[in-house]
Amino acid sequence: MQYLKVSNLTKSYTSKSLVDHVDFTISKNQKIAIVAKNGAGKSTLLKLLIKQVDITDWEIQRRKGIDIWYLSQESSLDKTQTVRQILFDFDVVQQWEKQIQLQIIIDKLQINPYLDQSVQTLSWWESKRVMLAKVLFNSPDMLILDEPTNHLDLDMIERLERYLKKQHTTLLMVTHDRYFLQRICTDIFELDRWKIYQYPGNYSYFLQKKAQREQNEQIQIHKLKQLFKKELDRINTSPQWRQTKANFREKRFYQIEQNYDSLKQTRELESHNLKLTIQSRHLGTKILKLKNIQKSFGDKIIIQKFSHEFKHGERIWIIWKNWVWKSTFINMLIGEEAIDSGLIQAGESVVFAHYEQKDIHFPDNKRLIDIVPNPKLLEQFLFFPNQQHQFAKTLSGGEKRRLYLLTILQKNPNFLILDEPTNDLDLITLWVLEDFLLDYKWCLIIVTHDRFFMDRLVDHLFIFEWNWVIQDFRWTYTQYKATQDIKIPKAKPSQSDSLSIDDWLQDSSTKLPKLSYMEKRELQQLGDDIQKLEKRKEAINLTFNDSDIPFDEIKKLSTELWDILKQLTIKESRRFELIERE
């Protein structure tokens, strides 16, 4: 069933085209992601479809009766109202069943703490949850989402991923979350040079077919290059062409030149040989030591007795609940926030650089080359010569973030702290940044919701728990999640493959049979096994505190610890199941 049919979609700003005579259709149950480089016009395309932006020339056919909802990056909430007023409108108040359903969503998105707050007082992530709650509650036929994972914590992202994957809602979204692209999408639309290229598959299929398209374009570039040279020779050597046919020939020449330059730059942009390099800086043996640090605001405890000593090459991912004050923790590390008690001591050779999650503004009169006066460095981070003299204020949101990130990296830090560095970055920029960070040999702390990004870069986690404790794990996020997700299979799987809102809260309980003799012996043995595993885990963690432990030994012990924790999860799950039947 076809929901939308777009024909001849065209949009330009002055001399810059965003889309040029584009055609595509969206059908029921399709889950489509739009990907493109920063500044290509992804968000504008979404706004064109819902007619928030004036169109140049197009035709759209929309199936009668379908309900389409749009979730933008900016808050669309009425700032004069409270969250409760936004969510509980007259229709909801009048129907008890709707109130229950909405309350389930509110509970799962953890909106209750600020339900009676004014919308004006909400943070980015709080506003995002409220808008998401409203969208999910109304269950539209089609959802249009612009960067839905930005400003959500990992728990919310994974809930949203499971929900969108199993729901039959038709989906069109702009995202560069590669797990979303791989696990949810049935189709990927690539917006490139004013056209849309359609790939009927997920992220891995897109990469495969895109590589084939690039190979074909390389052949086309070679042909255009030959034609370009031939036409240039004609312009220069044929006097008669400078007479009656001059205008025609010049137009043809410039068209060939434009096509060649466009294809050439795209191939350069998408080349996997792009490499961001920063000059190295010495880092001494003493780096950063935290000992029993504690921080409170009034009676609200933020961090409680946390200790850690950073080592060379350590890469740590901070996983947080949004309301936990992770920015305060970072500011304490770099000396911009005082601690209540404990010790924070940085080595003399440490040079911090902190990429912050904030609104980015550059002076109106500054060009890119003024802000980063290094043409080669700009080009390495995908700002090519024809863009380097552009005013920074004219950049798209993603391009501004890319430039801001480059201003941080050019300081040549040996202790790099990145707070949500992947927000609004396109796939190509992510590839370049990942390659740079993989080669980065000093200390690195990253706060991000991008799971794919971190699984490539990090094998050490600081997990901010709800009870003010920071858990320290030496493994990747996927390994950590594997221990969290191990469960005893349910007796009866759901008969529906659609995840309803009720499924988020479902926790069925049935009467279970009493333990048999063999199960009682099994329970006793499980207790002994768990006690031995806990002792070995404690011994390994004590070994990690030794600052002189070789890296190879750390790697070996980390593998053993991962196996122990996996066994503990399985055995404890089984033990709790048996205890419930005693």
Domain identity same for 117 and 235 = no
Domain identity same for 426 and 443 = yes
Residue 118's CB is within 10 A of a number of other CB atoms, namely 13
Burial class (CB in 10 A: 0-12, 13-18, 19+), 255: exposed
Instruction: Give me the pLDDT at residue 94, please.
Output: 72
Residue 404's CB is within 10 A of a number of other CB atoms, namely 19
The owner of tokens 């199941």 is 577
- Does residue 291 carry a pLDDT above 60? yes
Domain identity same for 17 and 77 = yes
Domain identity same for 464 and 505 = no
Domain identity same for 217 and 112 = no
Domain identity same for 316 and 255 = no
Cα–Cα distance between 437 and 406 in angstroms, integer? Answer: 13
**496's tokens:** 């529906």
- Does residue 294 carry a pLDDT above 70? yes
Q: Is residue 276 part of a domain?
A: no
Domain that holds residue 234: 212-269
Q: Is residue 124 part of a domain?
A: yes
Region of 65 on the Ramachandran plot (φ > 0 left; ψ -120 to 50 alpha; else beta) = left
Helix ranges (DSSP H) in 187-245: 203-237
What is the chain's mean pLDDT, rounded?
82
Domain identity same for 464 and 322 = yes
CATH number at residue 317: 3.40.50.300
Instruction: Give me the pLDDT at residue 416, please.
Output: 95
Cβ atoms of residues 46 and 6 within 8 Å? no
Domain identity same for 158 and 261 = no
Q: Is residue 207 part of a domain?
A: no
Q: What is the pTM of this model?
A: 0.73
Domain identity same for 329 and 452 = yes
CA distances in angstroms from 314 to 59, 444, 461, listed in the order given: 54, 6, 11
- Does residue 506 carry a pLDDT above 80? no
Give 4 or 13, the one with higher predicted confidence.
Answer: 4
Q: Is residue 282 part of a domain?
A: no
DSSP 118: B
Please state, for a pLDDT cut of 70, what percent of the chain lies above it.
Answer: 81
Most confident of 247-261, 466-480, 490-504: 466-480
**Residue 514: which residues within 8 A CB-CB, separation 6 or more?**
581, 582
